[in-house]
Amino acid sequence: MSITFPLPIKAVVIDLDGTLLDTAEDLADSAEAMLEDLDRPTVPLAEIKTYIGNGVSRLVKRALTRDMNAEPDAGLYEQAIGLFQKHYGEWVSRKSRPFPGVVDGLQALKAAGFHLACITNKAERFTVPLLQDTGLHDFFELILSGDTLPEKKPSPLPLLHACQVFGVEPDELLLIGDSLNDTQAARAAGCPVFCVPYGYNRGRPVSELDLDAVVATLAEAAGKIVRKA
């Protein structure tokens, strides 16, 4: 997709973990507690960060196997996921905070009249309290969690659903994310996509991804788009 700036847009959808909020410590603490409960070796925070971005299920599997794609024993996994969800439910917003520029960026986008949505692979039971506790919930007209629809990112379904809700075409909806999942979903849906460089892209620079711009902050992203009439 060939684009020029400022990009004419009607709606902006934003990823949660690694884009809006730095959630790594709460996720890591929950994974560490899960591993301790199972009498298994713990994993350093820097390594846990590379495991984030494909939902809790994959995070737990990676923490158990210390491999990006391996499948642990099914019985062990069932025990582990229950323990992780227990800890994370208690600690979901204990240390998580908005990244620099997020609140300013959301305020600018809202003031400019864009439709705003948050689209995440995190389950609704964690997404809603996390957004509420960090003061971001009320910025969004639409919140799509990993279990809201039959498919989640990198499927284009959440983005296409947002287009339907807002009454916009895919090329009028911008996704701002931080990872391969986001760029794959945007390209499959036909949406433009920006990525921030500070998030959770399995330790790889986002500049290597198929995207339209790397933006240092959400505030910078707001300056690259204009409200389409």
Are 95 and 25 in contact, with CB atoms under 8 Å apart?
yes
Strand 21-22 and strand 97-98: pairing? antiparallel
Catalytic residues: 15
d(CA 200, CA 126): 18
d(CA 18, CA 46): 14
